Amino acid sequence: MILILVRTIIIYILVLFVMRFMGKREIGQMQPFELVIAIMIADLAATPMAEIGIPILYGIIPIFGLLLMHVIISILNLKSIKIREIICGKPRILIYRGRIDEQAMIKENFTINELQERLRVNNINNIGDVEFAILETSGQISVVQKPEKRALKPEDFNMQVPYEGIAYDLVIDGKIMTDNLDKLGKNYNWLEQEVGKFNMKPEEALLVVLNGDGSMFCQKKDDNI
């Protein structure tokens, strides 16, 4: 039992390292070659964990081999557009200027119901509102609505919107985010003073966030939890 546990921990750490090295893409946004590698890694990792008679290297070496393949293919994708098209495919326009391209739908094995479902995921209930719908290489659908159906933006009214910047977490569950304080050029004394306006200390806060506009969100931890 101890041996199985040790082998499982080793394989887990290895697979975690490999998947982190492959990047932060979500499963639904993986390219085909990345998804194939992920599936193969899962299969290779399961075998040495379950079978004690199989040397653990029989799982480790192929996993590193797949990682090497991922690196090689990624480099080729960066270097050559042709190879990128062969491995990852090309985006295909399913709706062009408001009209469904039936040939493109057939080539991609895409049904009308699937197209409608993907549009609803993009908060579009009326297919007549779509100017372009593009099937990306990751399988996601990018949608461009007709001009008259798009949400209005401040620039449509020639309005100048102040820069909002990015929000920084300063305290999470009572822990001070010193790296973010350093980025802002602030220190603990400043944080203590600002959080004190909410009648608490930084260590007592569940969450403290400095928003891009300079405002601050602060919530105290529940003492009963």
Give the SS3 label for residue 76: helix
Which pLDDT value is given to residue 171?
94
Which pLDDT value is given to residue 28?
55
**Long-range own/partner contacts, residues 36-42 (CB < 8 A, 24 or more apart):** 37/66, 37/69, 37/70, 40/66, 41/15, 41/66, 42/15
Which fold does the domain 168-220 belong to in CATH?
CRO Repressor (3.30.240)
Q: Do domains 92-149 and 168-220 have the same CATH topology?
A: yes
First to last CA, the chain: 36
Q: Which of 30-34, 153-157, 200-204, 205-209 has the lowest mean pLDDT?
A: 30-34
Which pLDDT value is given to residue 139?
80
Q: With a cut of 80, say whether residue 122 has pLDDT above it.
A: yes
Q: Which two tokens stand for residue 119?
A: 């549009």
- How large is the angle between the packed helices 2-22 and 57-79, nearest 10 degrees? 0
User: Whole-angstrom Cα distance, residue 3 to residue 46?
Assistant: 15
Q: Give residue limits of the domains in the chain.
A: 2-86, 92-149, 168-220
Which pLDDT value is given to residue 63?
85
pLDDT in tens, 42-84: 888 887 777 777 788 888 888 888 888 888 888 888 888 788 8
**Reported pTM:** 0.62
Integer-rounded Cα Rg, in Å, for the chain is 25
User: Whole-angstrom Cα distance, residue 7 to residue 1?
Assistant: 10
Mean confidence (pLDDT) of the chain: 85
- How large is the angle between the packed helices 2-22 and 32-50, nearest 10 degrees? 170
The set of residues, in sequence order, having a beta carbon less than 8 Å from that of 118 and lying 6+ positions away, is: 133, 141
CATH class of 92-149: alpha beta
